[in-house]
Structure 1
């Protein structure tokens, strides 16, 4: 039963990664090009904004890899282990890194007086979603740490 659920979640993680990759490769350059053509005032952002998104893809894919590792631990009945806690910690740090990258990008755009509302909306959505992931990973990490402590105490008493 658990194996079927983890396989479904693994497939979901892979699909998320593939969809993001397709968007990064095909949609983002076209969006940057069409935005630069429609708004010549912001044409100089055609390359820096996608570059920032591509840089933020590094922690995103590392977090997806850590999620796959976590699902593997769950599949092998090692959910209550230090490895699972380390994976959750990595996911949390990746989410924080993405938030910081977008915050720095917002600040740079603000200093250049190029803070277009469409960039702000997309960035705010990414920051909000990533914040939710970071908080969720931190809560799970804390719960798993407490459960691991209780488990080790129970093992010592028996």
Structure 2
């Protein structure tokens, strides 16, 4: 694969990681404060919601790290290795953990009658995107396992 393509991919991954980090540091606490002021009846949920969202950042950044590792392997022509399979497995598990955390959050807020439609829609979009990433990474991992097996067989037969 051409170097410039890998560099563009690294740049996009870095950009997404930085944007999410800046949103979590600056925008999210402000939005939580404003939401608590506008809706005092659910202000007690400010910190549990913030903690839940920050918890989802852990698997997100682990997936970002593993994606960087995968891009590095591709750059070194090591895409068809066990390490690439392991990275895809971790990315799949990270996406699944984001899905689980958001489903728990949506159910919790629904039980508390504190789930506005906009927040529900945002949660569903995040769940949908994480589902797509999870399925795509799992399919790629399955294909990569087959390719690694064929590659290993060819290496041993020569």
TM range (shorter): over 0.9
Q: Distance in 2 between matches of 1:16 and 1:103?
A: 23
Task: Map 1:93-112 onto structure 2 (within 5 A).
Answer: 93-112=93-112
Q: Which moved more, 1:46-55 or 1:82-91?
A: 46-55
The corresponding residue for 2:11 is: 11
Range that drifts further, 103-112 or 55-64? 103-112
What are the Cα deviations for residues 9-40 of structure 1, in whole angstroms up to 9, with x where unaligned?
11111111000000001111111111112222
Q: What corresponds to 1:56 in structure 2?
A: 56
Q: Which moved more, 1:28-37 or 1:69-78?
A: 28-37
Unaligned 5+ residue runs, structure 1? none
Aligned equivalent of 1:67: 67
What is the TM-score of this pair, normalised by structure 1? 0.95
List per-residue Cα deviations over 1:33-56 (Å, max 9, x = no partner): 111122222222221111110010
Distance 2:140 2:2 in 1: 18
In structure 1, the residue matched to 2:142 is 142
Instruction: Quote how far apart the aligned CAs of 1:88 are.
Output: 0.3
Query: Partners of 1:31 and 1:112 in 2: how far apart?
Result: 19
- Following TM superposition, by how much is the alpha carbon of 1:155 offset from its aligned partner in structure 2, in angstroms? 2.1
Residue 68 of structure 1 and its aligned partner are, at CA, apart by 0.2
* Equivalence for 1:113: 113
RMSD: 1.2
Query: 1:127 — aligned with what?
Result: 127
Provide the C-alpha distance between the structure 1 equivalents of 2:57 and 2:120, rounded to a whole number of angstroms: 18
Listed as ranges, the gaps of 5+ residues in structure 2 are none
For residue 33 of structure 2, what is the aligned residue in structure 1?
33
Give the corresponding residue for 1:80: 80
Q: Provide, for residues 100-134 of structure 1, a one-character-per-residue CA deviation record: whole Å limited to 9, x for no partner.
A: 11111112112222222222111111101100100
Distance 1:39 1:109 in 2: 14
Counterpart CA distance in 2 for 1:106 and 1:156 is: 51
1:48-92 residue CA offsets vs partner (Å, 9 max, x unmatched): 111110010000000000000000101111100000000000000
**Farther-moved stretch of structure 1 (3-12 vs 134-143):** 3-12
Flag as ranges the 4+ runs of structure 1 deviating above 4 A: none
